[in-house]
Structure 1
Amino acid sequence: MGTLVAGANAALTAENPGLTSIMVGMGWDVIPSRGPQSELVPLTLLCGPDGRVLSDDHLVFFNQIASPEASVQFLGEEDDEQIDVDLSRVPAQVSKIVFAVYADPEMRGPGNFAAVRSAHIRVARPNGSELVRFDLPAANRDTITAMMFGELYRHREDWKFRALGQGYTTGLRGLAADFGFDL
């Protein structure tokens, strides 16, 4: 399928019959610093038809590495973060799965994406062969504190991937407000 640009979609299951499981890899480089440095934290949101997270249990992150039915799990380390998605186990009420990253304001740094380079999200088969990739465009990210990299979404009976690259200046609070989860 190749490399996508922001806003582009790719049919996953329609173009790959029998595809029931995928690996979503997210990666980035942070320019080394002798001083404070941002700590990036990945977050996966399982959302219903209203675009809101089904429940706080449907947030997958470092403190909760799997969704309740284990359809979405943080597992491998092929990229900076690897999320395995068993499409056949995703609950029917989930209409999209959003993959985001936020700069942890509690850690060692300014809490923004200013020093982040070469950020990407990719979707691959379980054997690692890449189906699609989105390299986030380089931009001035001094005020960006969270970013949606991409999303999987249902289209009729099939799953598609959409490249996003949408930044937030309001960080994790902005994601919580937009997707309806508690901090």
Structure 2
Amino acid sequence: MAISLQKGQKVDLTKTNPGLTKIMVGLGWDTNKYDGGSDFDLDTAAFLLDDAGKVKSDADFVFYNNLNHASGSVTHMGDNLTGDGDGDDEQIKIDLSKVPAEVSKIDFTVTIHDAEQRRQNFGQVSNAFIRIVKEDTNEELIRYDLGEDFSVETAVVVGELYRNGTEWKFNAVGSGFQGGLAALCGNFGINI
């Protein structure tokens, strides 16, 4: 049974799952009914970060225009333009055994595409979640439901995997940003 987390909680991933290397990170959401006339296009991304919380280069930003990290450790499974349907809206596969040694954490984010022009924000998004699944058995190990505590934010750091010695842990972050993808990229050391 999956461990259900609250904002700010941290939980071990690999110590309690010996031999775990291949996981799938699923992110999902629903949008509230509104009459803005535009579809909601939410985009997930993974930032591979060093001890200082920064990327080494733009190639450490895995998203819909850069689906694969050069190390083979992170693969974005593609962009869902509407978020319709149940279950995961976007997925990112991680091979923990291939994550470069200089990467101390991987942050998972969701942003709203063209949020400013479309007048959209996370106050209009509900049932957002992130889950960690054991890839070979499809067993859900960890789940974090974000709740409804956002209003004007257009980007969210949902959660992060981080190294603790030789083990990997997961942190339910749930931290919102205004300024969308540009603000997130700036925070992690990418100039766009």
Report the TM-score, using the length of structure 1 for normalisation. 0.93
- Percent identity reads 41
Which runs of at least 4 in structure 1 moved beyond 6 Å after TM superposition?
none
1:131 maps to 2:141: yes
Match of 1:79 in 2: 88
The offset of 1:108, in angstroms, is: 6.9
The offset of 1:164, in angstroms, is: 0.7
**Alpha-carbon distance between aligned partners in 1 of 2:56 and 2:27, rounded to the nearest angstrom:** 23
Gaps of 5+ in 2: 81-86
Return closer, same or farther for 1:106/1:131 CA change in 2, 3 Å cut-off.
closer
Gaps of 5+ in 1: none
**Alpha-carbon distance between aligned partners in 1 of 2:139 and 2:120, rounded to the nearest angstrom:** 33
Tell me the matched-pair count.
182
The offset of 1:165, in angstroms, is: 0.6
1:46 maps to 2:48: yes
The offset of 1:170, in angstroms, is: 2.3
**CA deviation string 1:122-168 (max 9, x = no partner):** 00100211101000021242x10100110000000000000011000
Contact 1:136-1:165 at 8 Å conserved across structures: yes
The offset of 1:178, in angstroms, is: 1.2
**Alpha-carbon distance between aligned partners in 2 of 1:17 and 1:154, rounded to the nearest angstrom:** 15
How large is the Cα RMSD of the aligned pairs? 1.8
How do 1:1-183 and structure 2 match up within 5 A? 1-34=2-35, 35-75=37-77, 79-105=88-114, 109-126=118-135, 127-141=137-151, 143-183=152-192
**Alpha-carbon distance between aligned partners in 2 of 1:117 and 1:135, rounded to the nearest angstrom:** 10
